[in-house]
Structure 1
Amino acid sequence: MLCRLALLSLVMLLGACQSNNTTVDFDSSRDFAAYRSWVWQEPALQYRPDDPRIKSDLTEQRIRQAVTGQLDQRGLHPAQGNSQGDLKVQSYLIVEQRQQQITTHYGGAWNGYWNGYWGGPMYNETRSVDYKVATIQIDMFDSKDGKLVWRGSAEQIMNNYPPSPEERSSAIYNTVSSALSNYPPARGTTPSP
């Protein structure tokens, strides 16, 4: 019974962490409505750490497709021909190991029929849970002056490691969608913390 309670609390905690933590920063003095086209800034995708278990042509292809699709939905289209585009886009895949402390409480007293208390002693069990988090960061640079004008990032817990190809594609698509969810920024808004 105690193992089931501990497992249930762990699943609930990791489920709560499932949501994408999204951050956005941008240059509020820029006119984002003027940006209509973009090109990749090479290298288009950088890995942190530069680990061959993470780095692959398939991962890069999935991220490129997700970014291209999301930018297209937001009115930014790939520059045609040899045009430099209005923006240069670069992305990062950052994978890091994290740890969280989980404390489970067992036992304690219960209120009896005649307001008496009964029950066993209370126990606390604290343990560490290790998990991997993947962050996709997307940077946009103004092609004219080379300055960073917008940055968005979203992270996702890697539940099933190694994930299947379908799980990878879905996770990348969802994370890129979250990272770009606040592009273009509305006039008068301020960057998120």
Structure 2
Amino acid sequence: MRRLFLLLPAVLLLAACQGAAVQPDYDASRDFSGYRTWQFDEPAVAYRPENDPRLAGELTTERVKASVANQMELRGLRPPVAGQGADLKVKTYLIVENRQDNVTTSFGGYWGTGWGGFWGGPSIQTQSVDYKELTLQIDMLDSNDGKLVWRGSESDTLSERPQTPAKREEQINRLVGKILGSFPPY
């Protein structure tokens, strides 16, 4: 029984570490089993804001395209044979938004007993923290009618410090993997 009480906090801690699952939006009337091929719509990657030099560029575009292509391949979707159209058109968006969060810290305060006892009230301090949030959104459109049939997105904090190409690729692969992990919506 004692082991159970020691195991319970570990299980709760692991459950708290689990991120929220991506909740895609999709057209429930579509038969996703009929989609076999895909291709990027133009532009393959759209940036918001368009002029953000920390994000927009050929290197980022190629990383996103390679990651999406890899995930689509894992799901059994292939590029179309030359000269034929694809069943799905894929469009991705990289969106950077300014965010603000309030962080509260509390410290101090003591209550003692005996001759040395005293009370010092705790100090509470709240600060605003500005940061940038990166959102990757993937849209899939039916090639026949051009209508959106599936959309998924995931967000992550954009590092203010310069990142290595490997870290950028890792972040993009992680986001794309989370998003397309819920496709197709069976």
State the TM bucket, normalised to the shorter chain: 0.7 to 0.9
Deviations 1:126-184 (A, max 9, x none): 10111111111000000111110000111111235321111100000001111111001
Q: Report the Cα distance in structure 1 between the residues aligned to 2:130 and 2:167, rounded to whole angstroms.
A: 20
2:176 is aligned with 1:176: yes
Q: Secondary structure at the match of 1:103?
A: strand
Contact 2:22-2:182 at 8 Å conserved across structures: no
Aligned to 1:39: 39
Deviation for aligned residue 1:23: 3.5
CA distance in 1, matches of 2:173, 2:148: 23
TM-score for the superposition, normalised by structure 1: 0.80
Q: Is 1:64 the equivalent of 2:65?
A: yes
SS at match of 2:184: coil
Q: Deviations along 1:24-44, whole A, 9 cap, x unmatched?
A: 100011111110101111111
Q: Deviations over 1:75-134 (max 9, x none)?
A: 111111021111010000001121100111112243x457x9743111111101111111
- The answer for the alignment partner of 1:152 in structure 2 is 152
* Identity fraction in percent: 45
Does the residue aligned with 2:106 lie in a helix, a strand or coil? strand
Matched residue count: 169
| Paired position in structure 2 for 1:106 | 107
- The residue number in structure 2 matching 1:97 is 98
- Distance of 1:161 and 1:21 partners within structure 2: 27
Specify every segment of 5 or more residues in structure 2 that has no aligned partner in the other structure, as ranges: 1-15
Q: CA deviation at 1:18?
A: 11
Deviations 1:39-68 (A, max 9, x none): 111111100000241210000000000000
Give the Cα separation in 1 of the matches to 2:87 and 2:117: 72
**2:90 is equivalent to residue 85 of structure 1:** no
Whether contact under 8 Å (2:38, 2:80) holds in the other structure is: yes
Aligned partner letter, 1:40: F
Q: d(CA) in 1 for partners of 2:95 and 2:21?
A: 14
The 1:119/1:72 distance shift into structure 2, 3 A limit, reads: same
Q: Cα gap change, 1:131/1:22 in structure 2, threshold over 3 Å: closer, same or farther?
A: farther
| 1:139 corresponds to | 139
What is the alpha-carbon root mean square deviation over aligned residues?
Answer: 2.3
CA contact (8 A) 2:92 2:138 kept: yes
2:30 matched to which residue of 1? Answer: 30
**Aligned partner of 1:100: which letter?**
D
Q: 4+ residue runs of structure 1 moved beyond 4 angstroms?
A: 16-21
Counterparts of 1:21 and 1:154 in 2: how far apart (Å)? 9
Q: Relative to 1, partners in 2 of residues 1:18 and 1:119: Cα closer, same or farther, differing over 3 Å?
A: farther
Is the contact made by 1:17 and 1:157 (CA closer than 8 Å) also made in structure 2? no
Q: Is the Cα contact below 8 Å between 1:32 and 1:184 reproduced in 2?
A: yes
